[in-house]
Structure 1
Amino acid sequence: MMSAALSYLVLGPVTFLSPLVLLGLLVLPIIWWILRVTPPQPKKAEFPPLQILADVMTEEETPDSTPPWLLLFRLLLAAIIAIALARPILGGTTNDISRPLALVIDNGWDAAPNWAVTIKDAEKRISKARRDNLEVLLLTTTTPDETAAFGPAQAALDIIKTLSPTALPPQREAAAKVLASVDLSDAKTIWISSGLDFGAAEILGTEVAKSASASRLQPLPTTLPIVPGDVVETGSGFRTIWHNPLATARTIGVTAHDRSGSVITRGELNFIPGKTTAEAEFELPADLRNRISSLRAVGLPSAGTVKLLDDSWGRPLIGVLTTGKDTSSPLLSEPYYAQTALTPHADIFTGTLDTLLPLAPSIIIMPDEARIDDPELTDYVETGGLLIRFAGPKLAKRSDSLLPVLIRQGDRALGGALTWEDPQTLSQFSQESPFFGLNIPNDVLVKQQIMAEPGAQTDAATWARLDDGSPIVTSSVKGLGRIVLFHVTAGPEWSNLPVSGLYVDMLRRILPLANATPAPEQSTIGDWSPDRVLSGYGRLITPSIQTGSLADDVFEQTPLSETHPAGLYKQGSRLRARNVVTEPGALKPIGNVAGVTPMNFDTATDRTLGGLLLSIALIMLAIDVLFSLLASGRMGYLKPNFGKASKVFGLIAALSLIMIVPFDAQAQDTEADNNPEAVSDALGLHLAYVKTGNGQIDDLSDAALQSLSRALTQRTTIEPVGVRGVTPGQDPLVFYPFLYYPLERDAQPLSPEASADINAYMAGGGTVVFDTRDQGDRALTGNLIHPGLAAVTQSLDVPQIGPTPEDHVLTKSFYLIQRYPGRWVDGTVWVDKNRNGTARDGVSSVIIGSNDWAAAWALDDEGQGLITLEDDMPRQREMAMRFGVNLAMYALSGNYKSDQVHAKALVERLGQQQRDIRDLGRSDDGEP
């Protein structure tokens, strides 16, 4: 088959991309005639007696012809060259009838785990349609284009390269309507499906079946996504349930992450055949459990394999202040009611302030009977604690400094013998209140309260009012913490609120504020606005401009869309999760569709034959020289000492080469594939990281070093050309100035080959930067040795190390710095104690830290950080990048900055930096 424009030629399984070159085969007869009448040059022999005949005119003689076997050999050589230049491809086409191609692609969240295979298959099919000069219709199912129609294949190929999975489910019914408006009777329609049915697969399949040829590609069962279900807190941790729609045997890991993306714990799901659910149990202390913000399935990157957790998650640690006195009637004690209301939702501890503060509670509840005025309680609030206190006779007699508003002395009695006012009910909560949306029972009454001084400050701090407008709950920020005051007692003495269901709901709304950053008092709460949204691969990213807010009353009912995607939404200081999957049990695999042939993805690849044929042609050219010498009788000049044996040896060697090339083609292709990378690493500077086997950590390391490479290129004369991920023991390490080695706590010891490689690398002048990434957990682990670091370094020749001195070269190799921040700031950085160093130019062979530098270096294409930092210092990400620049300069340049020529100026500059470390202006060298 040949197109009208001769763009390609198909002969059996071989496709020629430049068929016009095959016209060169027409010159073979001319070559045959030239070779036949022009034999090889005969051997000359000087015979002096015949010199007298040199000037005698002779008749023209016809020379002997080229030997037939040599003539055929040379014609074959010319044919091979012509065929190679025609760019043949093996396996590039099929014998199917050429029809217009209609390509329907599922690009929802369920397609994300197989997206690389999906795009590869789609590009291959569209490229074939372009070679066949056929039109293509391209339709995606999440946002079907109503104007989709058949068009040039090149346009479809340009579009396919821009596609990516979304965090939305496929809209197959809408896609079916688009296909119904297109004539598919003569088309070949291929539906690249995700494998999961969302209720309309049969409808779309019916439209696909109307084509002349209809098929559906389905992913392998092991790559179908699993989806999260319920997450249940337990006394020792929590339990999570996951769903496998295909009900096959699978073992998949689950990781729990905090808000910065760090892994807190891991679990394992074991699905058994015939069962669609599996559970994973996690045992964690309360403080670690409450830090979890998401659960993710390992190895299945998708928005649907992520479970986002919000303020409703976690059991905060709450301390209830008591007087320390025993009572035989707990119902008469004020702490009883708050403790009973919060026990299902928090871990409650009671006691005095001295016994509660060592537990580091996130909330302290102070009833009036246990009221204290202690500086330690003030420090607790100002450093980020949440204090919930209740009014009573003690507060009515004397106020103190731990109050959100100014109060009047005395209490206000309602409904008593000496009053003319009836007990008051609560007014509806305003939108600025965290209690907004709660239903207020009509039987909740207040008969006594503490009155607040009226004014604008009191109005701004009021969360709840009575019907007459007087505040009943007020709150304000104090330092980094917050104070909440109920203007009634913690028991039923002044109001029946503590014995109502509304009391429980109000306290639950306050719980999430324990870990929230204090918001300005005048902030408007209102609707839920998007904070971060999920991408198709399950990453939390910044919302786009078109992402809109959601009203509280329609938050749960609003379907997912580009305007209202899945993610985390904020309402003031409250955080609410909007997950992709709400009914995991309803998902099921796509079954057989009538008229649509199920197929697996085409993993076969086109094999270019041009290079192999040219290699054969070059070898044949070399052999042709040997054959020419043999035919002309000059073979003996090659090896005069070996006689006829040299001829036999030469022929055997040539024939061996011809036989080896086809059978060893694949090995040569592999070697050719590997050599360019090795040559590139040798000729151009690359930064490198050690692969851990954890895809998330390796991707973060790659992104971090890519960002550092760009910073080096922009700011210094160092211009890295790329980033490599290496595996010690398998990949050469000699090309890289330093290796970034992120460590997990469960890292395994190195193999003997890997240990030998790293030891040789360090001995030859390389630097290994070990990053344990656990500085944020040091409050829990103390000074215990990192188990992963201990396991990896047990077989390495690590020198004696110590904390980085203040005048170390790392502090001045490019920027003048005194701290080495990453995601965290205060982790100690350890280097070789020997200032001269055993490696080149005094560079330490190891650098060990725990600040998680990759998290701070990693930036997206727009220069935004991929991981949220702790912000423990001004411009933390910029300072982390400066440390990365210093690290690269140190590894490449050695200790030249440690000389004494510039010591005075450097010391002065370092001193200025220490005195003015929070200056946000530009430094003397003009750098920001």
Structure 2
Amino acid sequence: MSGLSFLAPFALLGLLALPLVWWILRIAPPKPKTQSFPPLRLFADIQTEEETPAKTPFWLLLFRLLMIALITFALAGPIFKKSAAETQRPLLLMIDNSWLSAPFWSEILNEAEAQVKKARRENVEVALVLTTGDEQSPAFQPAQSALETIETLKPQPWIDGVSSLIALLNDLNLNNKDGTFLSSGLTFSDESLPDDLLSPLTDLNVYVPVGISEVALPTFTREVPNGFESGWMRPVSGAVPVDLTVQAMSNDNAVLARSDLQFAPGDAEATARFELPAQLRNRVTHIQLSSSKSAGAVKLLDDSWGRPLIGVLSSSGDTASPLLSEPFYARTALEPYADIYDGDLDALLTVNPSVIVMPDSQRTSDERLAEYVEEGGVLIRFAGPKLAKRVDDLIPVDLRGGGRAIGGALSWETPQTLAPFETDSPFFGLEVSDEVTVSQQVMAQPGIETDTRSWARLEDGSPVVTAGPKGEGLIVLFHVTAGPEWSNLALSGLYVDMLRRILPLAKNRAQPTEETEGGNWIANRVLDGFGRFEAPDASVVTLSDSQFEKAKATKQTPPGFYTQGTRRRALQTLQDVKNVSVLSLPSGATRKQYGSTKLQSLAGIGLAIGLIGLALDALFALLMSGRRPSFLKRSPQVAGVIALCFVAGMSAPEALAQSGDAETSNQEISQKVSTAATGLHFAYVETGNGRLDRLTETGLLSLGKQLRVRTTIDVEGVDGVDPATDALTLYPFLYWVVSRDAQTPSDMAVTALNAYMESGGTIVFDTRDSADSAVTGNSAHPGLANLTQALDIPRLTPVPNDHVLTKAFYLLQSYPGRYANGQVWVDAASNAAGRDGVSPVIIGGHDWAAAWALDEENRPIIDLDDTLPRQREFAARFGVNLAMYTLAGNYKADQVHSAELVQRLGEERARDIGLEPADRDDENTSQGGIDD
């Protein structure tokens, strides 16, 4: 028995009650008083088939004491651990708490808690070492201190180098110690811990998550016709296909669009494609994976994304009619898709546009224009009389002198039409109309360079649009005028589409280095380790232009959006995805998977045997009382069969119950039932996502505080429940957060949930997707469909304006949470008397728990969508109404009949005293009774 220990050893004190139980069971009733009654003499010689013993048989007494002792033993939480003969060594616990671990954070925390609690039971010390942001020198200390630290951990949005981890480990004496590394399975760059650093450890276990092949990181984002593309890469390319979903998000975290991201077996790269109109595309501020909650799975888009700034060269002295002005046609074509700025070259270079449009009438030979192109700008220029007369250097191909026109030296007999665009042209796919004709153009010199740089040609093969690089920039030349002088192209829709296809080529232009707004870059919204936006703390520093160019994600400069006046720049979590690679295990390390730390618990086995024993005790009590069941009368051998089954159950305890781990022992379940039965508790259904469950629990606890302040309801606590095993009837409602990948409950859970709703309970399903309604429309929520397909869900309807839920405590007409928009659904027949008017189901997507959640200082934990004034206050009021509604039923609905009842009582009183009641209108008279 040296390997036996107890999680709740004080429960063994219940064994002291066994003598009292012995005495109670041995108590015999007093001997009845003898009274002579002659007629009873007739029954004296009758032989009775059943006799009741005068006192409890000794064997039954011992059996009952054994069952009580066994149940007491099970409630003490017995477990088997390592033999006392084995050496218990201090534990070095290393945790990867960078953003790489965010997708697996719940698994890492659960394993860390299991490891430290195991060390606490074995009374060994623990040294906790964090890979990121650990500023304190680690030391071996009692396991309870490490456990308190673990409960406050969260992933950081940056990664520290290996050098900092080496410095922390060098401060520790690792001789004769055990080591455990809870990793993400990935590492940053090719750096790794030296083998000799961890070689003093006696045993080293490295935990790696199973779903590492589903981790994807963003690489590029580029515009394409009618939308944009987002590239992603997997550090670990698995042998099975992986289907993910990429979301395009707005500044207020609303989902603007979704796209599938599919990795074929063995593929490391994939591309998600979005088709969005320009107005929606310009609202996209970041792109992220819907399934992976990690800062590394977020791609931030700053001022270099969205509507470009286009400069159109124009002269302030140009007083010609707009229809006769070349800049007019280019400006009109681009205005729906870009911000247009008119002016001379001095004015345009000041605002640093992405593209400069130079009509022939505004031609300039300023050297600064050439410098603008060489530094990465895009110049779109048009031909005309000036270019035909004198060629300059800002051209993509060599030109012939003069122009080609009808009746000229290089003449056409009729205007030429455009040829279909070739596949390597940016204009490929645009439809060419026969109505678009060219009557005059500047000719390009024939040659290989001209052929490779031609984007559009006429039917005779001569180039009409050419393009070529100059330095870091690009020059695009239309060989016709910007207006209708040489061609009617400027009057067609094709002209607009061709200019639109050129705009994405300027999206990656670098921001100007000079400070147009002045001052440093200040953090505005930064990412946490899970990829959520939050306000920067006091440790975040400001950055100059030169510092920002070299900045990387650190504690002082976290990833996020930084502003300089009206300008905004993004500091990405990850600069180069190729720096992330698979973690290589140190020599001598053992690879393990999360969730493998289990305890050999005997609690379930003991309780199962004890309960079976109590059932047998009831049968034995019937036999001793003389009330033998009829089936035993017919088959005396049944008793022997039952005894054999009991012995077989004793010899095969694994068939009676699952051991379960130590933290979900039956003693804890019993305590949960006891506390929930003696005081009001709220409950939520555990999803398996530790972070989400903790947020839900915090939200319900905060709602309980609001109820204590605003009403007489006193909520004592919040429990996480499993519908398949927990007693649900102890709770007024179940709060269930539904993810899109939620699975169908087990048969046992479905039975329990249906019974719970039938007995008067309410399930609040929160899909947390109201912000996505603009994208998903009326499509079914896949997770909600999986959960409810086997449940007895009644016909639902949006909450009516006069529903009790709108007036249970506060008068409400909306039900906001983190999101304010969206429908809330209840039972269409919720006035049924069998449930006191309470709907068995309430469905919404408002993320109410996030809106209720407050920290210990009553500060909000989650930012709201804030589409309503005082939205958090109205969310709290809805929570109060919800609690009152589920606890008190339709008491509020009864008040609507008070006026009718008072009026009828008055009429009856009037008749009693001989008065005629006042005439009622036809509408009231036709009711004939209280509203049904």
Q: Which amino acid aligns with 2:130?
A: T
Partner of residue 282 from structure 1, selected from 259, 274, 281: 274
**2:399 maps to what in 1?**
none
- Deviation larger for 187-196 or 727-736: 727-736
**2:560 maps to what in 1?**
567
Q: Which amino acid aligns with 1:877?
A: R
- Answering whether residue 848 of structure 2 is matched by residue 854 of structure 1, we say yes
Where do 5+ consecutive residues of structure 2 fail to align? 32-56, 315-319, 345-354, 358-365, 378-469, 476-502, 508-515, 903-932
SS of equivalent residue, structure 2 residue 657:
helix
SS of equivalent residue, structure 1 residue 207:
helix
**Deviations, residues 861-917 of structure 1 (Å, cap 9, x unaligned):** 24326244344x54233234334434554564441453556999xxxxxxxxxxxxx
**1:312 maps to what in 2?**
304
Contact 1:688-1:738 at 8 Å conserved across structures: yes
**2:656 maps to what in 1?**
665
Cα distance between partner residues in 1 of 2:689 and 2:182: 29
Q: Which amino acid aligns with 1:804?
A: N
SS of equivalent residue, structure 2 residue 569:
strand
- Answering whether residue 170 of structure 2 is matched by residue 175 of structure 1, we say no
Cα distance between partner residues in 2 of 1:835 and 1:73: 52
SS of equivalent residue, structure 1 residue 159:
helix
Report the Cα offset of residue 665 of structure 1.
Answer: 2.7
Cα 1:623/1:900, change in 2 over 3 Å: closer
Q: Which amino acid aligns with 2:641?
A: I
**1:538 maps to what in 2?**
531
Contact 1:205-1:596 at 8 Å conserved across structures: no
Cα distance between partner residues in 2 of 1:75 and 1:679: 24
Partner of residue 815 from structure 1, selected from 766, 787, 810: 810
1:246-265 matched pairs, under 5 angstroms:
246-248=236-238, 249-256=240-247, 257-265=249-257
Report the Cα offset of residue 593 of structure 1.
Answer: 2.8
SS of equivalent residue, structure 1 residue 712:
helix
Cα 1:214/1:147, change in 2 over 3 Å: same
Report the Cα offset of residue 551 of structure 1.
Answer: 2.1
Contact 2:133-2:555 at 8 Å conserved across structures: no
Contact 1:303-1:538 at 8 Å conserved across structures: yes
Where do 5+ consecutive residues of structure 1 fail to align? 1-8, 45-66, 340-347, 351-355, 369-387, 391-422, 427-434, 441-498, 513-522, 905-928
1:822-841 matched pairs, under 5 angstroms:
none
Cα 1:223/1:90, change in 2 over 3 Å: farther
Contact 2:176-2:200 at 8 Å conserved across structures: no
Cα distance between partner residues in 1 of 2:746 and 2:690: 20
Cα distance between partner residues in 1 of 2:825 and 2:635: 66
**Deviations, residues 171-227 of structure 1 (Å, cap 9, x unaligned):** 322211232343323222232222222236433544112323334332225366321
Cα distance between partner residues in 1 of 2:135 and 2:825: 57
**Deviations, residues 334-365 of structure 1 (Å, cap 9, x unaligned):** 246768xxxxxxxx655xxxxx7xxxx88576
Contact 2:601-2:659 at 8 Å conserved across structures: no
**1:875 maps to what in 2?**
870
**1:551 maps to what in 2?**
544
**Deviations, residues 137-184 of structure 1 (Å, cap 9, x unaligned):** 221111345632323333323323332221121432221123234332
Q: Which amino acid aligns with 1:613?
A: G
**1:105 maps to what in 2?**
95
Q: Which amino acid aligns with 1:854?
A: W
**Deviations, residues 423-471 of structure 1 (Å, cap 9, x unaligned):** 9999xxxxxxxx9xx999xxxxxxxxxxxxxxxxxxxxxxxxxxxxxxx
Partner of residue 220 from structure 1, selected from 206, 210, 216: 210
1:59-138 matched pairs, under 5 angstroms:
88-90=78-80, 97-138=87-128
- Answering whether residue 224 of structure 2 is matched by residue 234 of structure 1, we say yes
**Deviations, residues 491-516 of structure 1 (Å, cap 9, x unaligned):** xxxxxxxx999999xxx9xx99xxxx
**1:913 maps to what in 2?**
none
Report the Cα offset of residue 699 of structure 1.
Answer: 8.9
Report the Cα offset of residue 705 of structure 1.
Answer: 5.7
**2:921 maps to what in 1?**
none
- Answering whether residue 643 of structure 2 is matched by residue 654 of structure 1, we say yes
Partner of residue 801 from structure 2, selected from 804, 811, 818: 804
Cα 1:837/1:290, change in 2 over 3 Å: farther
Contact 2:801-2:813 at 8 Å conserved across structures: no
Cα distance between partner residues in 2 of 1:209 and 1:278: 40
SS of equivalent residue, structure 2 residue 305:
coil
- Answering whether residue 858 of structure 2 is matched by residue 866 of structure 1, we say no
Cα distance between partner residues in 2 of 1:209 and 1:569: 44
- Deviation larger for 753-762 or 526-535: 753-762
Contact 1:738-1:767 at 8 Å conserved across structures: yes
Q: Which amino acid aligns with 1:526?
A: G
Cα distance between partner residues in 1 of 2:150 and 2:273: 41
Cα distance between partner residues in 1 of 2:10 and 2:897: 68
- RMSD value, Cα: 6.7
Aligned length: 709
Partner of residue 606 from structure 2, selected from 613, 623, 626: 613
Q: Which amino acid aligns with 2:557?
A: H
**2:192 maps to what in 1?**
202
SS of equivalent residue, structure 2 residue 780:
helix
**1:586 maps to what in 2?**
579
Cα distance between partner residues in 1 of 2:232 and 2:881: 46
- Deviation larger for 595-604 or 638-647: 638-647
**Deviations, residues 28-75 of structure 1 (Å, cap 9, x unaligned):** 9x9xxx9xxxx9x9xx9xxxxxxxxxxxxxxxxxxxxxx999999999
Contact 1:138-1:156 at 8 Å conserved across structures: yes
**1:787 maps to what in 2?**
779
Q: Which amino acid aligns with 2:848?
A: A
**Deviations, residues 56-111 of structure 1 (Å, cap 9, x unaligned):** xxxxxxxxxxx999999999989978976885313567986433322222111112
Report the Cα offset of residue 128 of structure 1.
Answer: 3.4
Cα 1:817/1:268, change in 2 over 3 Å: closer
Report the Cα offset of residue 754 of structure 1.
Answer: 8.8
Contact 2:804-2:893 at 8 Å conserved across structures: yes
Cα distance between partner residues in 2 of 1:197 and 1:102: 20
1:438-587 matched pairs, under 5 angstroms:
526-587=519-580
- Deviation larger for 613-622 or 709-718: 613-622
TM-score by length of 1: 0.59
Q: Which amino acid aligns with 1:895?
A: A
Cα 1:562/1:838, change in 2 over 3 Å: same
Cα 1:761/1:590, change in 2 over 3 Å: closer
Cα distance between partner residues in 2 of 1:243 and 1:178: 32
Contact 2:605-2:658 at 8 Å conserved across structures: no
TM-score by length of 2: 0.58
SS of equivalent residue, structure 1 residue 532:
strand
Partner of residue 714 from structure 1, selected from 709, 714, 718: 709
Cα 1:276/1:809, change in 2 over 3 Å: closer
- Answering whether residue 267 of structure 2 is matched by residue 269 of structure 1, we say no
Report the Cα offset of residue 229 of structure 1.
Answer: 1.2
**Deviations, residues 258-281 of structure 1 (Å, cap 9, x unaligned):** 233333332232223443222112
**1:160 maps to what in 2?**
150
Report the Cα offset of residue 307 of structure 1.
Answer: 1.9
**1:139 maps to what in 2?**
129
Report the Cα offset of residue 606 of structure 1.
Answer: 1.0
SS of equivalent residue, structure 2 residue 538:
coil
Contact 1:258-1:291 at 8 Å conserved across structures: yes
- Answering whether residue 285 of structure 2 is matched by residue 293 of structure 1, we say yes
Cα 1:83/1:311, change in 2 over 3 Å: same
Q: Which amino acid aligns with 1:666?
A: A
Contact 1:184-1:211 at 8 Å conserved across structures: yes
